[in-house]
Amino acid sequence: MLIGAIDGGGTKVLAAVMTAAGTLVARRQAAVPTADIPAYFRRCAELLATCAQEAGVAVHALDGVGMNIPGMVTPDGHVLGSPSAGWGAFHARPLLADALALPGERLFFENDINACALAEQRFGGAGDNFIWITISTGNGGAVVANGSLVRGSGGCAGEFGHLKVERDAPYPCGCGGVGCLEAHASGVAIARRAVEAGLPAGTDAKRCEELARHGNSAALSVYEQTGVYLGRALAIAANLLNPAHAFIGGGASKALDLMLPSLQQTLAQEALPQCGHLAVTRTRLGYEAAVMGAAAVCLTGLTRPRTRR
């Protein structure tokens, strides 16, 4: 079995052809602007078609295609909104179906972080009670409880990025609120706060990490405060959900060790003692977590009972 996997991020797209065991056969990555939504999906299709060609198969020969959406979405592709991508509501399935020339019933969609959680469960042995949070362009989240992904009544559960973690000096968030985790602890927010802390203009989260590892006090303080924000969000999650594990992914998660002391201290201060025993580690799937998530979405969709019409 060969399946298509598309990780549709807010700034880049990663497409791959994979086996059911999660082995990458071919992969492609490119920066894809989100402003033109139909063009975005056409570019996703082009990348996947190139992967299929490299794998020696035609796109129509793939058993199915899973796609991550950087926002709130239903499994059949109704996008409810994406603050990080600047998207409102639209239907993704016909856009991708037309671009790939594939029937819609072979296409499956999921929020990008829900997809990562499914991959952690399927390919990483994550267990039955955990949360997954990304530190990337934004801060997304997912919840797995008693072995099942929690979607909520409208498919919007797990939006940890919009928990309020700063009230004294809240920063505006793309969702329209203020003080959200995403406005203070995303990769974009880390870069903004690094410059505010006196680091050179243009310093991004990666450069801030490099400076912190060389002992720069301003960079270290940025990651210390980021740990506080993450600890506040995790304390809320611990009290509400009592998960056993929190997996942290995304590009900026490479600096998790710099955040852990303040994160764990904040978690211990703000979570109930009975709920605060939460293991916090980076994802076991590394950089490929999201594209493996898209594969997990496809495999889950292919095994889901079809509704007869």
Assigned CATH topology for domain 2-112+288-303? Nucleotidyltransferase; domain 5 (3.30.420)
DSSP symbols for 249-264: ESGGGGGHHHHHHHHH
d(CA 270, CA 174): 26
Cβ atoms of residues 66 and 108 within 8 Å: yes
The CATH number of 126-283 is 3.30.420.40
pLDDT of residue 305: 65
Radius of gyration of the chain (CA): 19
Nearest to 232 by CA among 146, 167, 177, 281: 167
pLDDT of residue 309: 36
pLDDT of residue 303: 87
d(CA 69, CA 77): 9
List for the chain the helix, strand, coil content (%; round to 5). Answer: 45, 20, 35
φ, ψ of residue 110 in degrees (nearest 5): -160, 150
φ, ψ of residue 140 in degrees (nearest 5): -100, 165
- Find the distance separating the first CA and the last CA of the chain, reported in whole Å: 27
pTM of the model: 0.90
Cβ atoms of residues 3 and 17 within 8 Å: yes
DSSP symbols for 69-113: ESSEE-TT-EEEEBTTTTB-SEEHHHHHHHHHT--GGGEEEEEHH
User: Residue type at 296?
Assistant: A
DSSP state of 128: S
pLDDT of residue 79: 94
Q: pLDDT digit of tens for each residue in the chain (309 aa)? A: 999 999 998 778 999 999 999 999 999 999 999 999 999 999 999 999 999 999 999 999 999 999 999 888 988 899 998 877 889 999 999 999 999 999 999 999 998 899 999 999 999 999 999 999 999 888 989 999 999 999 888 778 999 999 999 999 999 998 899 999 999 999 999 999 999 999 999 999 999 999 999 999 999 999 999 999 999 999 999 999 999 999 999 989 999 999 999 999 999 999 999 998 999 999 999 888 999 999 999 999 998 765 443
d(CA 263, CA 169): 19
d(CA 206, CA 97): 36
Nearest to 52 by CA among 67, 64, 37, 34: 64
pLDDT of residue 173: 94
Residues of the chain with CATH 3.30.420.40: 2-112+288-303, 126-283
Q: Which two tokens stand for residue 219?
A: 């960079």
